[in-house]
């Protein structure tokens, strides 16, 4: 090999590398087709990519859908995918935070129904505009329902009340 050939090799991508990148972009496009139309519009995607994704959502035939996904991959190769990848990453992080918040509120509800005395002070600290009388009533009703094996109507109301308080504080 000559010296110029050695200098050119690192810049060139192998056929396998190009195919892996194209497949990765196609997978990203498939993930985009699973999002709602409203979420897609919030991502501020290029118009041609957005229209290709919306078209893919309407195609239900297997072969046609696969071809549309390949077209989305082609469109993605023509644009800079970094902002789209970043937007998807941000969206996943937001979903993870929401999921963790949901589980935390479920934990509060369950511990309140079980009668954790130290938790009341923690919740009063977290939500200063809390109606303590209403909260205690919901807890009593939920405990009564659990004791008598009734449907958890008050437990759901307690969760909703905690969620509403958390939404106000967010």
Domains of the chain: 13-88 (1.10.60), 98-169 (1.10.60.30)
Residue 1's pLDDT band (boundaries 50, 70, 90)?
very low
**pLDDT above 70: percentage of residues in the chain:** 94
Which pTM does this prediction carry?
Answer: 0.69
pLDDT of residue 114: 92
Residue 37: CB atoms within 10 Å: 11
Write the DSSP assignment of the chain as a string of letters.
Answer: --HHHHHHTTTSPPHHHHHHHHHHHHHHHHHHHTS-HHHHHHTT--HHHHHHHHHHHH--SHHHHHHHHHHHHHHHHHS--HHHHHHHHHHHHHHHHHHHHHHHHHHHHHHHHHT-HHHHHHHHHH-TT--HHHHHHHHHHHHHHHHTT---HHHHHHHHHHHHHHHHH-
pLDDT of 27 higher than 70: yes
Would you state the pLDDT for residue 10?
59
Q: With contact defined as beta carbons under 8 Å apart, do 160 and 154 qualify?
A: no
Range 55-72 average pLDDT = 91
């Amino acid at each position: 090999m000559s010296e110029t050939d050695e200098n050119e090799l690192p810049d060139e991508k192998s056929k396998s590398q190009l195919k892996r990148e194209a497949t990765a972009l196609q997978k990203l496009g498939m993930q985009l087709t699973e999002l709602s139309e409203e979420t897609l519009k919030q991502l501020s995607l290029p118009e041609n990519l957005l229209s290709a994704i919306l078209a893919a959502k309407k195609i239900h035939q297997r072969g046609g859908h696969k071809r549309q996904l390949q077209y989305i991959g082609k469109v993605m190769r023509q644009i800079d995918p970094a902002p789209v990848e970043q937007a998807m990453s941000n969206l996943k992080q937001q979903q993870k935070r929401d999921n963790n918040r949901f589980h935390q509120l479920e934990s509060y509800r369950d511990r309140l129904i079980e009668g954790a005395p130290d938790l009341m002070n923690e919740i009063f600290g977290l939500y200063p505009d809390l109606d303590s009388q209403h909260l205690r009533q919901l807890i009593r009703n939920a405990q009564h329902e659990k004791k008598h094996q009734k449907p958890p109507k008050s437990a759901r109301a307690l969760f909703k009340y905690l969620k509403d308080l958390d939404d106000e504080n967010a």
